[in-house]
Amino acid sequence: MRTTSNPAFRKLPEMAGGYANFNYGQGQQSPYGQAPAAPPQTARPMTIDDVVTKTAITLTLAVITAALTYLVGPPAVVLALPAALIALVISLVIVFTKKVRPALVVAYSAFEGVFLGGISYVFGSSFGSAIIMQAVVGTLGVFAAMLVVYKTGAIRVTPKLTKWIIGAVAGAAVLMLVNLVASFFMAGGLGLREAGPLGIGFSLLCIGIAAFSFLLDFDAADKAIRSGVDAKFAWYIAFGLMTTLVWLYLEILRLLSYFTSSD
């Protein structure tokens, strides 16, 4: 069964050889007494090149819009919050729609880039521009490390690990929501986003969860490729990987700001 903490990957068709009765030989009867349906034919099976290409397109667009927003400065920073809200709405449409819509993934990347550019400018202005490059390098480093971990099999994606990661993601999301609500009634909320031991520990926890989430993303993409799903679903994989990368970047950026503010 395909299971992942990233909702984008749940849009992929169910994998062959599992619970869709595709594992029964020709002429055999399924446990329900009927011959299994033939696997759905795709226009062209998805390949690793499709995933790499679509991911490169989305990330490049996000980087371009982020860089432009950052260079424009304060006039463009005010667009960060509206861009974040628009990106959130688009992401929900992508997750819940029944049809692959590459244009929405591209639009999401552009608006997400504006948001990242604005947030990066705010952090850069407050803690120094060097923090931006450090966060970018850290994000790419974690991504590359987890890819190596997955490809070498150093950590295998098991049902137990999958449940742990999904539970950790849900738990972190709930804590962030509670902290946000609490901040309306008391300064700093629960302290999860303050420059202190608790804030540093929570950011390290989120970075670890985001890093391990890549393992589920890689595994879901790998199974989709081996199952021969339609090439168009590479857009969903690109979208899913980007959401994890954005979360990881923001957590690393926040963590670096804690140490910078304490100097």
Which range marks the domain in which residue 164 is found? 42-261
- pLDDT tens figures, 35-51: 334 445 546 888 899 99
Question: In whole angstroms, what is the distance from residue 109 CA to residue 63 CA?
Answer: 9
Q: Would residue 87 count as lying in a domain?
A: yes
Mean residue pLDDT of the chain comes to 82
Global pTM reads 0.80
70 in any annotated domain: yes
More confident: 84 or 11: 84
8 inside domain: no
pLDDT at 65: 95
Number of domains in the chain: 1
- The one-letter amino acid code at 209 reads I
pLDDT (tens digit, 9 = 90+) per residue, 8-39?
A: 555 555 443 332 332 333 334 333 344 334 44
Residue 143 lies in a domain: yes
In this predicted structure, the answer to whether residue 188 has a pLDDT above a threshold of 50 is: yes
Q: Answer whether residue 31 is part of any domain.
A: no
Note whether residue 102 is domain-resident.
yes
- Binned at pLDDT 50, 70 and 90, residue 63 comes out as very high
Of the CA atoms within 13 Å of residue 81, those in its CB half-sphere come to 4
Residues 6+ apart with CB under 8 A from 46: 224, 225, 228, 229, 230, 231, 232, 233, 234
Tell me, yes or no, whether 27 lies in a domain.
Answer: no
**pLDDT given at position 39:** 45
Establish if 19 belongs to a structural domain.
no
